[in-house]
Structure formats: structure tokens, C-alpha cells
Amino acid sequence: MSIRLSAPRVLGLAALVLSAACERDTSSLEPAPFPSTATVFDDAFAAGLQFQAFGGSKTDALSTDATVKRSGSASLKATVPAPGNASGGYAGGAFVSTVARDLTGYNALTFWVKASIAAKLDVAGLGNDNTGTSRFSAERTQIDVSPTWTKVTLPIPLASKLPAEKGLFFFAEGPENGAGYDLWFDDIKFENLTDLGTLSPAIPTQSLTQEVGGVINVTGATVKYSTGGGEATMAVSANYFTFVSSAPTVATVNDVGAITAVGVGTASITARLGDTPASGTITLRTATAPTAAAPTPTRAAGDVISLFSNAYTNVPVDTWSAGFDQADVADVNIAGNATKKYTNLVFSAAEFISTKVNATAMTHLHMDVYVYDAASFKVKLVDFGANNAFGGGDDSEHELTLTPTTSPAVVANAWNSFDIPLSAFAGLTNRAHLAQLILLASSPTVYLDNIYFYKVPAPPAPTAPVTAAPAPTRSASSVISLFSNAYTNRAVGTWSADWDQADVADVKVGTDDVKRYTNLVFAGVEFITPQVNATALTGLHIDLWTPDATVAPAEFKVKLVDIGADGAFGGGNDKEHEISITRANTASFTTGTWISLDLPFSSFTGLTTRGNLAQLIISGTLRTVYLDNVYFYGPDAPPPTVPTTAAPTPTFAANNVISLFSNAYTNSAVNTWSADWDQADVADIKVANDDVKRYTNVVFAGIEFTSTQVNATAFTHFSMDIWTPNATTAGKVFRVKLVDFGANGAFAGGDDTEHEITLTGTSTPALGTGSWTRLSIPFTALPGLQARAHLAQLIFSGDLQTFYIDNVLFYR
């Protein structure tokens, strides 16, 4: 709505009609010049001037005030409304002349302003004629105002551009600190100032990408100038500038700052304001539109909810460019394939509010995306929640940023097939009412295709195992095995008795032997000669694999039969019991995985004797089963506390060894195997006729050979064999330290060097429990041992309180 204040109407010109005989030739006449009146407001509006209030503003905000004035008889008063004012949210509008003015003779617009409070005027400027098509606007923001009259100068960026301008002045101001207030303007006029100084024009320095044939308008041009309080910057129209392209075959630019991509390559756009070069350069990279369609999707339609794709039936989408977004969208055809093309993209919003998407069962979002600038591509999903309303309190959303270094990565000038797990949208706590897909991109042009949600189908159930059953770890001494590669097996008469209903075959899973049963109703495994005496044992172990369903009422039955002391079926003393394995009593009873069953004999309550076990019978609902590691077991024997076999005899040539302790070599003299300063007990013992050192109660043990120090300069390794009953897992350590006394041969003589290495159950070399372990340590692993010509001490410490050592030596 526009308001006319004290502006007299300008009537149309009277036509002068002459007779034909006196008619004048007007073809060579120049257009009449426009008036160059300087005044906009001085006690009253200049003739032919209108105030046109901006949309949404308080339309009656402006009035003349004869009480408050800087000079003359009146000023203009602007009443800035408080927040929530029903008549408008701010004060503002344009001062428009009904007849254009010639402003080429001026270099500035000036005005005086004061306010009822100290505030910042949001914006004031010139060149806005309130038509929406103003070509030469220039404005300054955040202008300081106060209760004292202040003169404000707004330079005209290039006066030669304004021979016919109707937009003489404009302003806009909203509440300050949550309250309205009053502004006054006076003496608004154009001037030709002699002290204005030099203007500093600029265009933004930026890198842009555009498709050949596309247009980008230069925005963000500014002019900086000096004011009484320092410097000020005005945002100005690009139309004031003259632009130059470094490569007109790549990009052209016209006099209004519209850059058109005309060929493939890179062009630099620079500008000048009149004769003054502007700082800043726009670098434009151009590219051609895709000629190949996005890849055709191959996912099954039943696993997809499609928003846009030729490959599927799409759910309804209300809009691909909502009214609140900043993008233009068009449907284009690329190699016969429908595609969405976004241009001038800042952010786009696709809405499917009428038919929201329930993606609860989906696992991924797929998009095929083609961009010219890969720096950033953002994807946001918004769920409106169960109340189906935006902002209803149960909305959830999440935005992902993809770049050339993310996974998935963005690549320019190629189709990007993004398969994004919905789990990556961590803030999207609900997916049952998806209603918006919002995209933000560094590329102003984006092509989209094949936008759909999908689920990864469950892999088909395997029909046979591809990995072997877990290797048994029980000691062989506690096992009687019927079938296992890990043990020596007892004789079994048959794995499918002639009276059963099953087919059995020996198969390999990897390198492991396995029994495969098919067409299973019941299968009889007989080991009558010899029978198994499991009296001292505690249970039966079976590794089972099946492709069949294992949910209720599925079951797998195991029966054991003892034929008694007479060794005959039906002899009157037979005992048997059958147990049933189901999902209810065995959580691991599942399809397609090895199930390790440890069945204690206490579960076979009817099996009151186990001295003459002769049959194992399997049955149930499973028609195909694979069996491995079928054995009876008892408690493992306690681990040994002392070695019963000697350490392996070293095979190094004697001339390549300096031995401290070994039956295989002549040993160098050692002063002590437990120094008086250590905390350990040592004893010489025999293990299978081999001499061994046994250490007990060890905190640290010191071995000294100070009288006959070892020169190991020419040697490469230290080696020893160790046996311990102590645990070597769960962080347990054993430390070995070597100490060289240096050339002076004295401890702490100033040239000592040493290094300690820490060994564990997972180090190299690794410790072990209950077996001999050879620790072969290269000197390169002891960097702190900088000399080896006067080795004099070997120190053990760590968590092993008891250990046995043998074959302690240096070798090369």
C-alpha cells in the first residue's frame, strides 16, 4: 500500500495542436532533460514526491512534525512501532518521484536524523523506487542515531548512471530492544560534496561453478567510504559497475552483472566503478550438463519406497520445491530418463506431507546426485511425528554433510550414487512419518534421480556350514572321542544303523571332517564293540549345525543307551534316556550357525549306568543336520606344576654360541644365579635327566657374571627356554633385562648401558603356560643396550613367581 504525503499531483502535459500546414518535424529533437532538483524534503516534500510504505510496515508511521525540527518549520517524524503492533511490524518505505530526476550532477545524498533514544537505523539508501525492479539501489545499514541531530552522508556510487532516477530515498527501521520509538528526518537532499573523498568499490572474491548456458548474477557489491566517524560501507547494485571477463569464450558478463557461461573452462570476472578498479575477483568454472543418465537401480521393488525414479512406482510428493526454499526446479530428460534439475540452489525442500513415508522397516536412503561443485552437499530428513504436524512437539530431524573426504564422498561432474544408512541420521529418532527432504549444496546446479528408501534384504539362509565347528579345547586326557579331528577317536560300528531312517555322508567343511545327515527321522550311531565306559566322565559334547527352522516347535533329540554289564541289547539291565533341545531350553539353538551342546549326564536321569554305553540316537524335527566333535568328557586334569619333559635341545653351532647355562654347550662362568640383592629363590633340578634352574618366590632375580663379563658384540640374539605353571594371559608380564658395565668393567662407572624388554602372552616372542617356550630376543629389540662388550647382569622380574629356565645363551 502507498501513502501520498503533501505531494501535489503532476498533471499531464497539454497537447498543442497545429494545423497541418504549420506541422513541425520532430525527428531530430533530443529528449527533454529530467529535472535535477536536489531537495527531497525541506519543511515539506518536494513537488511530485510520494512516500510509498513497504509491505508489512506500519503504513501511517510517517508524518510531518512542526515541533521537532533541525531547521525551517518542520521535519519528518517516523513512529517505529513496538513489537506486536497490529498496524505493522516496522516503519519504512520509499520516497519516489513521479517524474524522474537527473542526479548526474551530485555525488551524495545527505540527510539529518535524530531519535528519541540511542539506536541503530536498520537501513537507509537511495535508488529504490519500490517497483521491485530498481536498478541502481545503494544502501547503508546499522546507522547510529541519537537524541542529537546527526548528518548522514550516502555517496552516489557512480552519478553518471542516474540521469533518470525515481527512487530518491528509502529507510526501514524496527523496534529497538523490544520497544518502539520515534525517528526524525530533516533536510534530505542531494549534494555535490567537495570533501567526500575517494570511494573504494569491491565485488566479492568467490569461486563459482555454472553449467554452460546458465546465468549467475553478481551480488554482494559494496562501496567503502570515509565518514566523520571513520569508515562506512554501502551495499550497492551491480548495475553501477562495468564488468570484464578474462575469457569471453568461457563466460560473458553484461552491464547489469549477469554472468553467462558460454563454454567449458575457467574465467575470471573483474569490475570497475567508473574509472576506479574494484577489488575482488569472481572465478567461474563452467561445465557441461550430464549426457548419460544416472545408473538404473537394481533393488527389488518390494524392498523400496520411491520418491522419484523411473525404475519404481513413486509415492506422491506434494512439491519438489516448497514455497519457503531458495531454488528453482525443473523436470528434464537425460538420455531418456526423467531427472530433477535444480538451479540457483541455496537450499531445496521436497515435501510429501499429504502422503508421509513410513520408513521404519527401511535401512537406507538412496540418491543419485550430479553436481559441478563437490565442496559440500547436505541432506536433511524431517519426521513430523505421530501427530503428523510440523512443529507439533514430536518432530525429529537430522542433517548429514557430505564432502569429497566423507564416506560416501562427493565427486564433481559425475553421477554420485549415495547409499546412506538411515542409522547415520542419528537425530532422526522416528522414521514412521517422514515428510520433508531438504538439500543444501555448494553447487548452484544439481541433478537428482532415483531418490528412494530401501531395506537390505536378509541374506538367504545358508544350506550348509562354510566354517568349521569351534575347535575343542578340552585336554585329550579327559575325553573319549567318537568323532573329532582334535582327538584320537574310538571305533564306531556305524553312524547310521540299518534300522534307522536317515542318510549320512562324510563331508569336509574347510579342512575339517564333518558328518552330514539328511532325510533324518532318527539316526542310530552304534559303538557296541568296543562299548564306552563313561563312568568317570561327566557329559556328552556335540557340535550341531542345521539349515532347518529352530523356532518352536522345532527340537533336536539325543538319546544315550547303556546295554549293561552283559553287553547285550534287551538283556534286562539296559538303561537309556533321551533329552530334547529346543529354543526354550537352549538359547543357542539357532539356524545357520554351529551350536555347541554340552549335555551333562545328570540331565540323562534314566541313564543310571554308563559303563557300557553302546548307542547314540538322534531324532526330532530337523531333517538336515551336520555333526562334529562328538565326544564324552570329564573334568580336565589340573595343569602341571612342573615340567615333565626337557626343553628342546638347541641346534646352534657351538662356535656361534656363548652359553651361560645349557647341557648342550660349554658354559661361561657365572658368579651367581641369585644375587644377594634380589628377591628370589633358585634351585638346580633335573627334568628328564636335563639340568634346569628353578626359580620360586620371584619378585626379581639377578644373575651376575661380573668376573667373566661377556663380549657379545659379534652376536645378534639372546635366547633362553622358560617353563612356568603361572598364568600368562590377562595382562601378566615377564621382564628380561641385560646390563653392560662398559669399558671400565664396573657397575655404575658412568658408562653402563641396559635395556629391559617386557614379554606377554601376545608379545613376540610370546609367553605360554605349562609348556617350554623359547624366548629368542634380537639385540635390535634392546636399543638401550648401546654396548655389548661387557655384559655382566641378567635380571628377571614381572608376574611369574615360579618358572624354570634352560639353555640361557647368546648366539649369532
User: For residues 702 and 736, what is the distance between their CA atoms, to the nearest angstrom?
Assistant: 10
Residues 164 and 279 in one domain: no
Identify the pLDDT of residue 11.
24
Residues 187 and 207 in one domain: no
Residue 27 has pLDDT above 90, yes or no: no
Cβ-Cβ contacts under 8 Å for 532 (sequence gap 6 or more)? 480, 482, 490, 612, 613, 614, 632
| Residue 256 DSSP code | T
Residue 30 has pLDDT above 90, yes or no: no
Identify the pLDDT of residue 702.
97
pLDDT band at 16 (very low <50, low <70, confident <90, very high): very low
Which alpha helices (DSSP H) does 266-352 contain, by range?
Answer: none
Identify the pLDDT of residue 640.
87
Identify the pLDDT of residue 19.
29
**Choice between 2 and 359, residue whose per-residue pLDDT is larger:** 359
CB of 222 closer than 8 Å to CB of 300: no
Identify the pLDDT of residue 33.
85
Longest Cα–Cα distance of the chain, Å, equals 153
Q: What are phi and psi of 116, to 5 degrees?
A: -75, -15
The CATH number of the domain where 246 resides is what?
2.60.40.1080
Out of 162, 191, 220, a domain closes at 191
Residues 43 and 187 in one domain: yes
pLDDT band at 22 (very low <50, low <70, confident <90, very high): very low
Q: What is the pLDDT of residues 415-430, one digit of tens each?
A: 999 999 999 999 999 9
Residue 14 has pLDDT above 80, yes or no: no
pLDDT band at 460 (very low <50, low <70, confident <90, very high): confident
* Residue 109 belongs to some domain of the structure: yes
* Residue 407 belongs to some domain of the structure: yes
Block residue for cell numbers 554308563: 610
Assign 3-state DSSP to the chain and report helix, strand, coil percentages, each to 5.
Answer: 5, 45, 50
Q: What are phi and psi of 160, to 5 degrees?
A: -65, -15
**Choice between 534 and 209, residue whose per-residue pLDDT is larger:** 534
* Residue 40 belongs to some domain of the structure: yes
CB of 422 closer than 8 Å to CB of 431: yes
The CATH number of the domain where 185 resides is what?
2.60.120.260
Instruction: Please name which of 377, 360, 348 lies closest in space to residue 423, comparing C-alpha atoms.
Output: 360
For range 559-571, the mean pLDDT: 94
* Residue 791 belongs to some domain of the structure: yes
Instruction: Please name which of 230, 250, 340 lies closest in space to residue 294, comparing C-alpha atoms.
Output: 340
User: For residues 673 and 49, what is the distance between their CA atoms, to the nearest angstrom?
Assistant: 112
Residues 341 and 381 in one domain: yes
Q: Please spell the DSSP secondary structure of 611-673, one letter per residue.
A: TTEEEEEEEES-S-EEEEEEEEE-PPPPPPSS--SPPPPP-S-GGGEEEEE-TTSPBPP-SBS
Residue range of the domain that includes 344: 301-454
Q: Which amino acid is at 652?
A: F
Residue 572 has pLDDT above 80, yes or no: yes
Instruction: Please name which of 108, 117, 169, 182 lies closest in space to residue 144, comparing C-alpha atoms.
Output: 117
For range 586-590, the mean pLDDT: 96
**Choice between 344 and 454, residue whose per-residue pLDDT is larger:** 454
For range 632-648, the mean pLDDT: 91
Q: What are phi and psi of 238, to 5 degrees?
A: -65, -15
Identify the pLDDT of residue 731.
87
Per the prediction, the chain carries an average pLDDT of: 93
Residues 230 and 176 in one domain: no
Q: What is the pLDDT of residues 654-667, one digit of tens each?
A: 999 999 999 999 99
For range 364-370, the mean pLDDT: 98
User: What are the C-alpha distances in Å from 698 to residues 640, 737, 798?
Assistant: 19, 15, 8
pLDDT band at 4 (very low <50, low <70, confident <90, very high): very low
Residues 317 and 267 in one domain: no
Out of 166, 191, 216, a domain closes at 191
Total domains in the chain come to 5
Q: How many percent of the chain have pLDDT more than 70? A: 96
User: For residues 612 and 555, what is the distance between their CA atoms, to the nearest angstrom?
Assistant: 27
Q: What is the pLDDT of residues 753-804, one digit of tens each?
A: 999 999 999 999 899 999 999 999 999 999 999 999 999 999 999 999 999 9
- For the beta carbon of residue 321, count every other beta carbon within 10 angstroms: 18
Residues 367 and 503 in one domain: no
**Choice between 378 and 638, residue whose per-residue pLDDT is larger:** 378
User: What are the C-alpha distances in Å from 755 to residues 2, 554, 604, 733, 790?
Assistant: 91, 63, 60, 16, 14
Identify the pLDDT of residue 3.
29
Identify the pLDDT of residue 15.
26
Residues 81 and 152 in one domain: yes
Residues 528 and 617 in one domain: yes
Identify the pLDDT of residue 7.
30
Note if the bond before 472 is cis, omega within 30 degrees: no
User: For residues 792 and 710, what is the distance between their CA atoms, to the nearest angstrom?
Assistant: 7
* Residue 716 belongs to some domain of the structure: yes
* Residue 501 belongs to some domain of the structure: yes
Residues 312 and 424 in one domain: yes
The CATH number of the domain where 668 resides is what?
2.60.120.430
Residues 509 and 377 in one domain: no
Identify the pLDDT of residue 26.
45
* Residue 10 belongs to some domain of the structure: no
Per DSSP bridges, beta strands 501-509 and 512-526 are antiparallel
Identify the pLDDT of residue 31.
59
Cβ-Cβ contacts under 8 Å for 476 (sequence gap 6 or more)? 487, 488
User: For residues 307 and 395, what is the distance between their CA atoms, to the nearest angstrom?
Assistant: 21
Cα atoms in the Cβ-side hemisphere of radius 13 Å centred on 344: 12
Identify the pLDDT of residue 214.
86
Residues 522 and 613 in one domain: yes
* Residue 296 belongs to some domain of the structure: no
